[in-house]
Amino acid sequence: MSYEAGSTECRRIIETKEHLLKTLQSLKYLSNTDHIESKLKAIYDELEKMHDMRRKIEAN
């Protein structure tokens, strides 16, 4: 996992995003998973927004 200073919550968000990226990589080798990939990418985007909000909160 890459290191980033911040709260435990930020680190957990980062870990979750990294797990999703690994899952998306694995899905590339499976047939007929486009709909699953799409849903996971949407979840990743939501986590990214959460992470951005946490960074703003912690910067203050």
> What percent of the chain clears pLDDT 90, i.e. is strictly above it?
72
* Phi, psi dihedral angles at 30 (to 5 degrees): -110, 150
Note whether residue 54 is domain-resident.
yes
The residue-averaged pLDDT of 19-38 equals 96
Structural contact between residues 10 and 58, judged by C-beta atoms closer than 8 angstroms: yes
**Confidence (pTM):** 0.83
Q: Is the per-residue pLDDT at 3 higher than 80?
A: no
Does a structural domain hold residue 3?
no
Question: Residue 13, class by beta-carbon neighbours within 10 Å (0-12 exposed, 13-18 middle, 19+ buried)?
Answer: buried
Q: Are 43 and 21 in contact (CB under 8 A)?
A: no
Tokens representing 22?
Answer: 């690994």
Number of domains in the chain: 1
Share of the chain above pLDDT 70, in %: 92
| DSSP H stretches of helix in 1-60 | 8-27, 34-59
In this predicted structure, the answer to whether residue 2 has a pLDDT above a threshold of 70 is: no
Q: What is the mean pLDDT of residues 9-29?
A: 95
Residue 2 lies in a domain: no
